[in-house]
Amino acid sequence: MADKPSLKRDPGKYPVIYRNLMSVGLLGVIYRVGEDAQTINDAVESTLIEPGSFSTYCAIALAMAGQTEYARNVLGGRVEEHPQDDEAKVALAVSLLFGGDPGWRRWVDNVLATSTDQPTRQAALGVLSYVNEQRYAH
């Protein structure tokens, strides 16, 4: 079995081929080219040392396409395993919001009520700000 490429040097700097494949896979999800996008995303995810962030991106992209089940399973599972993972709660809220599920608000409220992580609280407030802007933009 081939070793996964080492991205430990700078995990935020993926090779160009990874970034291109990630972009194509995530866009494929949004534009509902399901099977092909899933093949690409599975290939990318299987080579990543830490696929957590990519799974989050997939959950949000799928929700943008109206499919929230992946977010419920992956991000919801992350929250069940690690109830203090406030970043996963905000990502789950965004996914549910984009998917049209009113349950998104519960997660934002939870983060704002319990989290001491300032950047995560700001992200939760950003979600509320976005919703407010959308409400008055139409």
Residue spans of the domains in the chain: they are 51-137
Indicate whether this model's pTM tops 0.75. Answer: yes
Q: Please, how many CA atoms are within 13 Å of residue 119, restricted to the half-sphere of its CB?
A: 3
User: Which residue pairs from 37-42 have beta carbons closer than 8 angstroms and sit at least 24 positions apart in sequence?
Assistant: none
CA distance 110 to 115: 8
pLDDT confidence of residue 109: 98
pLDDT confidence of residue 98: 93
- 100 conformational bin, left if phi > 0, alpha if psi -120 to 50, beta if neither: left
pLDDT confidence of residue 118: 97
- 49: tokens are 């040392």
pLDDT confidence of residue 49: 84
Per-residue pLDDT of the chain (138 residues), as tens digits, is 444 444 444 556 778 888 888 889 888 888 887 788 888 888 888 888 888 888 899 999 989 888 899 999 999 999 999 999 999 999 999 999 999 999 999 999 999 999 999 999 999 999 999 999 998 886
